[in-house]
Structure formats: structure tokens, C-alpha cells
Structure 1
């Protein structure tokens, strides 16, 4: 074979690696830590949404257009963060399953 064909055969080699639970100690602890971080972030997003909505209302009723715009922006960002935090597990699972189909 030519050196170019050998190179492509090396690129096509399947190492046979796939995710497997229970291979290392501490997986349950790691999952617990990640779940706690997710909960902490969701609580922080609830607080930031409350503050952003208050700033939006305050800017609206006092005629502060800059404050109103910043409140709207903060509420939108907080809603997006809540969406991302809630969907994180599903997004990772979706793309992991999609990636495992690549051959």
C-alpha cells in the first residue's frame, strides 16, 4: 500500500472506547457535586430574575428608559440561563447519542 493509504487506515482505526459507569471510584460523589452546583445556579437565576424584573418595573414607572432596558435585558438573560440549566442534561444526552452514531 501507499503511505497515503496507510495514513487513512490509521485515521479510520476504532479504539473501541465508550462511556461506562462504575469504572472509577467517586462517580456518585461527582454526580452529587454537579447536581448541587446546578441547584445553586438555579437559585441564583431566580434571584437575578427577581432583581431584573424589579429594575424593569422601577424603570418603567419612573421614566428611566435605561433602567427599563437593562431590566428587560436582565430578565431575558435570566430566562435563557434557566432554560439552559434545565435543559443541560438533555442537551448533553442528545449530542452524546448523536456523536455515538458517527462512524
Structure 2
């Protein structure tokens, strides 16, 4: 008796790729806008000597960069898992 997995039982992998791509686009747009706004605020605050606002804006820049890196890594990981699942 041979038992094999039913690969046709899981539909919607192409839909999952489209959703992941759409989420990546949304997250990257928000991260770039956040990066631009935070960098401008950081520059203006540092030039005016407002160190509290400068520190918060610097944190915003780092959060934006981290969010973009995690979003890109998450989509790459999801695509890797989908391709790995097809090889099984």
C-alpha cells in the first residue's frame, strides 16, 4: 500500500504569492515615506538643537529601515517555502 500526499488538495498558492507581493508593495511604500519624513525631521531638529526630537526621528529612520528589511526578508522566505513545498 503506497501513500502519497495530495498536491492538488491545496489550492490558491498563486493567490498567496499575489497577496504577499501586494503586502510587500504596501509596506515598502509606507517604509520609504516614513524614512523620508523621519530623515527630514531628524535634520531640522538637529540643526535647531532640539535633541529630543532628533533622537525620536533617528529612531523613526531605524524603524523604517528595519521594517523594509523584514518585509523583504519575509516575502523571500515565503517564496522559498512555497518552492520547497512544490519539491516535496
TM-score bracket for the superposition, by shorter chain length: 0.7 to 0.9
Is the 1:58–1:67 contact (alpha carbons within 8 Å) kept by the matching residues of 2? no
Compared CA separation, residues 42 and 22, structure 1 to 2 (3 A): farther
**Gap regions ≥5 residues in structure 2:** none
**Gap regions ≥5 residues in structure 1:** 1-15, 98-103
Mark the structure with the bigger radius of gyration.
1
Which one has more relative contact order, counting CA pairs under 8 Å at least 6 apart?
2
TM, length-normalised to structure 2 = 0.72
Match of 2:42 in 1: 56
Aligned counterparts of 1:32 and 1:45: Cα–Cα separation in 2: 20
Aligned counterparts of 2:30 and 2:7: Cα–Cα separation in 1: 31
Q: C-alpha root-mean-square deviation of aligned residues, in Å?
A: 2.7
Q: Does 1:74 align with 2:63?
A: no
Q: Report how many residues are paired.
A: 79
TM, length-normalised to structure 1 = 0.63
Structure having the higher helix fraction is 2
